[in-house]
């Protein structure tokens, strides 16, 4: 499998990534919402604010004054919008009896439900499905599109759902653990090597790359 070969090369270079860093499934969900349009370090700061305020629970978040919640979330950027979206997500989450009320939903149905929540797009929904519910969905981000278009696997203009299908169709026999690790490894490769201006001489995928040295 072509995609499995890329995975093996990345894993050999970087090793296990131990994603997603969180103490609970709910924290994963909150992190997935807060990481929109910001770096993970900023999300960690916001999460720490919630933890210090003993507010990392859907009930407390809903009951917290908007301005207070926004202040806690300020490190993550767009904090007023994220405070509103987080409250909306928590309302939805509790209305469906939290994790225990959602864990038996079929993956396609659960994804559909998540996407119905205002502010939850495909990448956020798939982060939650993979890392909080342990479902075999592939999370696509800008690093994924950049890396695999440079490798010549897909066109850079491919849409989210089509690119997700490429991975899920080829890796359907793999475990959730592989889906988890693969996304994390792609992020590492994108941050360290396959940047906007790639460091091709440092790349472990040189023999697989069809656009070596070409900045796209």
Reported as a single tens digit per residue, the pLDDT across 95-125 is 999 999 999 999 999 999 999 999 999 999 9
Complete domains list, the chain, with CATH: 2-17+139-208 (1.10.1670.10), 25-131 (1.10.340.30)
Cα–Cα dist 174/45, whole Å: 34
pLDDT in the model for residue 209: 85
Q: Please, which residues have CB within 8 angstroms of residue 68's CB and are 6 or more apart in sequence?
A: none
pLDDT in the model for residue 214: 45
User: What percent of the chain has a predicted confidence (pLDDT) above 70?
Assistant: 97
pLDDT in the model for residue 207: 85
User: Packing angle between helix 122-131 and helix 176-192, nearest 10 degrees?
Assistant: 130
Reported as a single tens digit per residue, the pLDDT across 46-71 is 999 999 999 999 999 999 999 999 99
Alpha-carbon distances of 54 from 24, 42, 82, 121, rounded to whole Å = 14, 19, 18, 28
Q: Note the pTM of the prediction, 2 decimals.
A: 0.94
Cα–Cα dist 51/44, whole Å: 10
Whether 114 contacts 129, CB under 8 Å: yes
Please name the helix (run of DSSP H) or strand (run of DSSP E) that holds residue 172, with its range, or none. none
20 upstream amide cis, omega within 30 of 0: yes
Low-confidence ranges of the chain (pLDDT < 50): 213-216
CA dihedral over 45, 22, 26, 60, signed as positive or negative: negative
Cα–Cα dist 202/200, whole Å: 5
pLDDT in the model for residue 1: 59
Tokens of 50: 């919630």
């Amino acid at each position: 499998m072509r995609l499995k070969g890329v995975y093996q090369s990345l894993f050999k270079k970087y090793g296990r990534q131990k994603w997603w860093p969180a103490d609970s499934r709910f924290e994963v969900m909150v992190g997935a919402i807060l990481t929109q349009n910001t770096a993970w370090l900023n999300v960690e700061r916001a999460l720490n604010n919630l933890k210090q305020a003993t507010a990392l629970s859907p009930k407390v978040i809903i009951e917290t004054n908007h301005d207070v919640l926004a202040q806690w979330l300020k490190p993550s950027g767009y904090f007023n919008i994220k405070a509103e979206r987080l409250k909306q997500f928590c309302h939805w989450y509790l209305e469906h009896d939290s994790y225990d009320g959602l864990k038996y939903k079929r993956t396609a149905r659960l994804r559909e439900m998540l996407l119905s929540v205002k502010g939850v797009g495909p990448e956020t929904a798939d982060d939650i499905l993979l890392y909080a519910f342990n479902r075999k969905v592939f999370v696509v981000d800008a690093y994924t599109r950049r890396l695999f278009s440079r490798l010549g696997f897909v066109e850079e203009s491919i849409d989210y759902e089509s690119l997700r299908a490429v991975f899920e169709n080829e890796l359907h026999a793999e475990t959730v653990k592989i889906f988890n690790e693969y996304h994390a490894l792609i992020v590492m490769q994108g941050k360290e090597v396959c940047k906007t201006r790639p460091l091709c001489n440092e790349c472990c995928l040189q023999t697989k790359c069809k656009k070596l040295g070409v900045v796209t």
